[in-house]
Structure formats: C-alpha cells, structure tokens
Amino acid sequence: MRNAPTILHLDMDAFYASAEQASKPSLRGKAVVVGGLGPRGVVATASYEARVFGVRSAMPMAQARRLAPNAAYLVPRFGFYRAISEQVMGLLHALSPLVEPLSLDEAFVDLEAGEAAWDEASARLVGEKLRADIRAGTGLTGSVGLAASKMLAKIASEEAKPDGLVLIEPGTERALLGPMPVRILPGVGPATGDHLRRAGITTVDELAEAGEDELVRLLGKAHGHALYAMALARDDRPVVAEREAKSVSVEDTYDVDIHDRLRVGMEVQRLAERCVRRLRGAGLSGRTIVLKVRRYDFSTLTRSETLRGPTDDPAVVREAAARLLDSVDTTGGVRLLGVGVSGLADYTQEDLFAQAAGVGESEEAAAEHSVEEGSEGAVEAQAAHDERRWAAGHDVRHAEFGHGWVQGSGLGRVTVRFETPQSEVGRVRTFRVDDPELEPAEPLPLVVERPGAAVGGVGG
C-alpha cells in the first residue's frame, strides 16, 4: 500500500445514456435506456432519471419497459461511444504511462508513475482538472476516486457518483470499509454474497472478524485469502498498462428464432464481414476463426478452425465460418450467432488468401453467389436488413431537413426528430422507410471547438 492517494479510478457517469442525452436535446433530463430493444434484449445503460424507476444495467429490456414505460429506448451506437472513449483515454494517457482501461468508460491511472501527483493535495488537483477537461472536451461528466490502492480508488469513485470526486486519505481505509456491505469488495458477487450472508457475514467488519481461516473454510484457499486481505484494506495490485486484446468478435441475438438454413448462413456471412472490419480497424489479423451458435433451447455450441497463419482477409474468414456452420445442426432454430477471430497478430500471412474459395473473386461477387437470387431466404434477410437500418436513436440526414435521429420505425414508416447537439429541441417528422431523401448519417460531435481553441489536449 502506498502512503499517498496516487491511484486514480475514473468512471464515466451512465456513459452510453449520458452520451445520448448530450447528443439529443429533447432527451436531456429525461429517462433514457440504451440496449437491445427486442424481446430478448438487455439494458446496457440507464440514465439516472431512468434509475429512479428501478431500471438497471443487465436487466431484461422487457422488465425495464414495465418499470419505465415512458422512457426513451435506444439502440447502442458503439462507434460513437468508442470515439468519445478515445478522447477520454487520451486525457488519461497524458497523465501517466500506466493507464489500465477496464471498459470504454472506466480506467485506473497510476499518477505516481507519471509524476502527476505525489500527495493528497496534488492528487486532488489532478482529479479536479481531469473532470473539468472531460466536461470541456466531451460535454460529459465522469466521477473520480483517489486512493492508495486500486480497490479503494474504485470504491471512492462509486461513492463520488454522479459527477463528483472522493479522495480516501491513507490511514482511514479500515474505518471507511468497516460498515460497508461485503458486496462492495471485488470478487464478491451474488453467489459469494449469499454464501457469506448465510454464515452471518454481511459487512466488511464482520468479514475481517471472521478471520482468515474461517474464510478459507467457507470460500476456498485462494478466494478466502484474497477477501481477508481486502477486508483489512490490503491491496497491492499494480496498475497494469493497457492489455492487448486476445480476440475480436461480434454477435447478434435475434428477436425471433431463425429456422431457415439459408438465412442462418447469410447472417454468419454478415457477422464475418463485421468481425473483419473490426479486426482491420484495430490493425490486427488472427489465426483462429470461431463460430458461436445458441440454439432455440439455449444450448450454446462453439466451433473453431485454426489456419496456417494470421489473416484479415474477409473471404478467408467467411469461408472458414461457413465450414464451421456446416458442422452445426440448426434444425430447431437459432436465437444467437457470433463470429470471432483469436490468435491475434499485427501482421497478415499473404498465402492464406488462397484458402478462400473463388480466389480473385470480388467481395461483391462472393456475396452475390452466397444466396440464390429471389429465394425466400434472401427476401427475408433483406427485409430484416431494411428494418435494422432505421435503429432507434441512430443518426440520419434528410436532404431538406438536415440532421436528425430515429425515434422509431415500423409498418413501412420511420419517425425522425431533427435536432443536433448544439440546437434547440427539434421537430418530429415521419417518412416512408424507402424515402430517397433520407439516409443514415454519422454522429455529430458533442462539443464544437472554437477556431484556435484546444481543450485538454484532445482533438476534435
């Protein structure tokens, strides 16, 4: 443990939902829920206004709709969130070479390693400036925890929410942790929490009083030792610089089980294309292609194929995924499909291109050959694609009315609210889904920098 609170934990406040509110003036101060909107969808993030009704992350979307029927329900825009995250992570990397991202909206920073802070006063100044820079650069808020260990810094940021800063002074850790519930500690999930409760242990003080031997008896050697140390506020885990990704994958859950084998094949091809785009976007290639299939009865099958060397060629990944699908029985229906690439490298082995069937064939031609023209499966897949094109919350542009976002679609119609992050609350209009003047658009920046201005060293 350190003698100064020089480990910082940043957690952006209700990140996805807050980004949507900042992007859409009509949703500011309103209940917003982001996640999968189908009957099997789950909540990714709920705004603080939605949390008042009991909506929480990972909750089934159907339950969220019952709790907050009047909330705005939006499909995630991960590219948009990723761009904001890159701005925020840029600010963190300016503070220290040791930044440990946990997700798009959360990270640890070792301020001592970057010589950004060395005592309570300097750490507090860094934390307050970081919060101000995040607000200026992105228009969003983040909560900051500062402490002498990672565990305590994360607990501090939870206490700081929303939009605050909490610094835990060295020497006060035991007194602070004592009355807190055991679930506050890392590694204490619902199952462990229930097990401890049945043993009469509900607070961190009671955990410490139980003693190390009793915790080992209850939870096993590794878990028992670790929890006892944490109960005594001991946590020597270092901040680890950004870890390399072990795999790149994409998956979709379908509102209605897919029974048509041709449609399943088309979805796998589409997922393979998406996976390769993400792979190339990260400047990576991989050797092992993985197919994930969750069937109608919730049984999940995983199949994989390892190539001779790494590739980022879409035809190779498509062909491998198709071969893997051939070994899976989808007769009863499919509820989830996923395609991934592991065994990552930052180079591509060129001779692998020959593994793809129809080498030299264009991607457009390969896609065309993957489905019979005019088949029922192709029509069904195209209809599903058209429906997904106008996802609730996603950006659009109209030739006459300009930039807006989709409020909803169905029955051949799409409803759009025309507004931008910098505008007043906009008007709502409805169009045919095939209106030639309406098209998908890229998100607009939340903050428009003034000419010549630089905010916190973050680019626009």
Say whether pLDDT at 454 is over 80.
no
Percentage of the chain beyond pLDDT 70 is: 87
**341 contacts 317 by C-beta, under 8 angstroms:** yes
Selected residue with higher pLDDT from 88 and 307: 88
3-state secondary structure of 333: coil
Q: Is the pLDDT of residue 93 over 60?
A: yes
Output the pLDDT for position 299: 84
pLDDT over threshold 70, residue 256: yes
pLDDT band, very low/low/confident/very high, at 242 (cuts 50, 70, 90): low
pLDDT, tens digit (0-9, with 9 covering 90-100), for 195-221? 899 999 999 999 999 999 999 998 888
**C-alpha span between 249 and 339 (Å, rounded):** 6
| Range scoring the smallest mean pLDDT among 131-140, 326-335, 340-349, 422-431 | 340-349
Q: How many CB atoms lie within 10 A of CB 372?
A: 10
Average pLDDT for 451-457 = 47
Q: Is the pLDDT of residue 84 over 80?
A: yes
Among 413, 414, 394, residue whose Cα is nearest residue 405: 394
Which stretch of 115-129, 131-145, 250-264 has the lowest confidence by average pLDDT? 250-264
pLDDT band at residue 243 under the 50/70/90 scheme: low
- Digit-coded pLDDT (tens) for 363-395: 333 333 333 333 334 434 443 444 457 899 999
Tell whether the model's pLDDT for residue 76 goes beyond 70.
yes
Per-residue pLDDT band at 455 (split at 50, 70, 90): very low
pLDDT at 347: 58
Round to whole Å and give the CA distance between 449 and 460.
Answer: 7
Q: Give the active site residues.
A: 106
| CA gap 86, 79 in Å, rounded | 11
Distances (CA, A) of 269 to 140, 328, 333: 37, 15, 17
Is pLDDT above 90 for 445? yes
Q: For residue 277, give the H/E element and its range.
A: helix 261-281
Instruction: Give the rounded percent of residues in the chain with a pLDDT score beyond 90.
Output: 62
Per-residue pLDDT band for 151 (boundaries 50, 70, 90) equals very high
* pLDDT computed for residue 297 by the predictor: 82
CB of 417 closer than 8 Å to CB of 428: yes
Please give the average per-residue pLDDT across 406-414, as a whole number: 91
**Average pLDDT over every residue of 186-199:** 85
Residue 433 makes CB contacts below 8 A (sequence gap 6+) with 386, 389, 390, 409, 412, 413, 414
CB 270 within 8 A of CB 382: no
pLDDT at 42: 85
CB 315 within 8 A of CB 358: yes
